[in-house]
Structure 1
């Protein structure tokens, strides 16, 4: 197939993806903007679902971003999850949760969970160290959840490491 045909097919694949995939990409874009370039480097970003539909990169199942905190000189992984409804939400499947815990054995690992509103303007945002949760379900309105609630549009080192 020609390069032009590949490009057209990729565009069609992108447009025909489920809404949840498109929302996930929008939320990831929003989250990455929240990590100020002055304080964080983006070391790795996983491929999107269109790229993975051609050939899945095995490493893409580990996290969405690998970041570097310039202030503390620490790498950390971020998995972004957007859910349109609040309450009790599934961060991922229990099997995926166990996989993420294994990843967390080698690099600090955080879920950034956006809830409600729009993917690029969520009502609530939580920055959750995976080692602080036992299950793949998260109760957004709980006292426990409030410990990880983010009330600004930017993520700073103290947001990450204070709950770790």
Structure 2
């Protein structure tokens, strides 16, 4: 598949201007190839640009050969799938549309059907499979590894590495995976760095970072303290611990994807043994080093969130800052939090019934906005959105 895609990018010149995305792995590699080849590029992103540490993007911006366009919905919780609306809008701006492999069940396939200005680089999976010979298990020299790592960490992409080292794309991908840290580990470390930067630690301050756990493993063997929270801080004579988590999005099943019972039990044991509070700092969306949303959740409040997943919004940190008071102050009881929420939304956390569900769906399908539905049902916009999503999935 890579062979067909990059054959097209190699045929471009500085007189072309390419509009592209950076959402999927393939889109990311195409963007890198365009930037390395110095092709004028327009990058479309949703809500805000987050890839702030990409070296090739930095170079392209400095040389005025990259324009980043941030798209936002007029109504954030409006109707219609965001990716389809994005694709439709961007395609309307282009004189010619070039696609790689197109899933026949995806939104892009229906958008390009009947258009005469579309070029499809890959017609089916068979072409992609036949495009490149099988990986030959040739030994990589230390010198080649050094070149690969330099280019990889300079965000030059697999196409540039393939051309430099004359290795197949599959071999390059396999070697990158074998000699770099796993992606999930790197995302976790990047978010930990982000959280530490919010504390703004300096020598001589009252706040001191005492412990920083690292995920150390050899096969199935790992040290006992791997189950401890990521950070332990001392502020004067008081201590508190912080566990950092980053997710691309909040899933419906928070218990399975975010607050696994085994991990919670480990943190509870740690908190009881050390007699210090544990707080979970959760980043959601964007990039691990620059998340869109931040939540500060005391460990003792997690049980309430598992019972009422909507209540996680009560812990959203709108300021995107951290201070010791957030971790050392006594937290309000959940009943107090619910009471406060109901001053703004009288029906907050109350159960839904069949009659209300039917009314909600009817009004939503008639074109009512999420904001107007929130006012009508005396609930938050997030609660309305989540309920509509659940009803649509089960209907």
- The verdict on a shared fold, with TM-score over 0.5 as the criterion, is yes
The TM-score bracket by the shorter chain reads 0.7 to 0.9
- When normalised by structure 2's length, the TM-score is 0.34
Give the distance between the partners of 1:152 and 1:108, measured in 2 at CA. Answer: 22
Match of 1:60 in 2: 226
Give the distance between the partners of 2:300 and 2:259, measured in 1 at CA. Answer: 15
Please say if residues 26 and 120 of structure 1, whose CA atoms lie closer than 8 Å, have aligned partners that are also in contact.
yes
User: Which of 74, 90, 93 is equivalent to 2:260?
Assistant: 93
Q: Displaced runs of 4+ in structure 1, greater than 6 A?
A: 11-14
Q: Which runs of 5+ in 1 are unaligned?
A: none
Q: Give the number of the structure with larger relative contact order, counting CA–CA contacts within 8 Å between residues 6 or more apart.
A: 1
Q: Which runs of 5+ in 2 are unaligned?
A: 1-141, 150-175, 333-395
Match of 1:121 in 2: 290
Check if 1:156 corresponds to 2:320. Answer: no
Query: What's the secondary structure of 2:241's corresponding residue?
Result: strand
Larger Rg: 2
Give the distance between the partners of 1:135 and 1:87, measured in 2 at CA. Answer: 17
Task: Classify 1:162/1:146 alpha carbon distance in 2 versus 1 (closer, same or farther; 3 Å).
Answer: farther
> RMSD between aligned alpha carbons?
3.0
Task: Classify 1:135/1:58 alpha carbon distance in 2 versus 1 (closer, same or farther; 3 Å).
Answer: farther
Query: What's the secondary structure of 1:104's corresponding residue?
Result: helix
Task: Classify 1:82/1:45 alpha carbon distance in 2 versus 1 (closer, same or farther; 3 Å).
Answer: same
Question: Mean alpha-carbon deviation: is it higher for 90-99 or for 109-118?
Answer: 90-99
CA positional deviation for 1:154: 2.5
Structure holding more helix per residue: 2
CA positional deviation for 1:13: 8.4
Task: Classify 1:135/1:103 alpha carbon distance in 2 versus 1 (closer, same or farther; 3 Å).
Answer: farther
- When normalised by structure 1's length, the TM-score is 0.75
Task: Classify 1:111/1:138 alpha carbon distance in 2 versus 1 (closer, same or farther; 3 Å).
Answer: farther
Match of 1:107 in 2: 276
Structure holding more strand per residue: 1
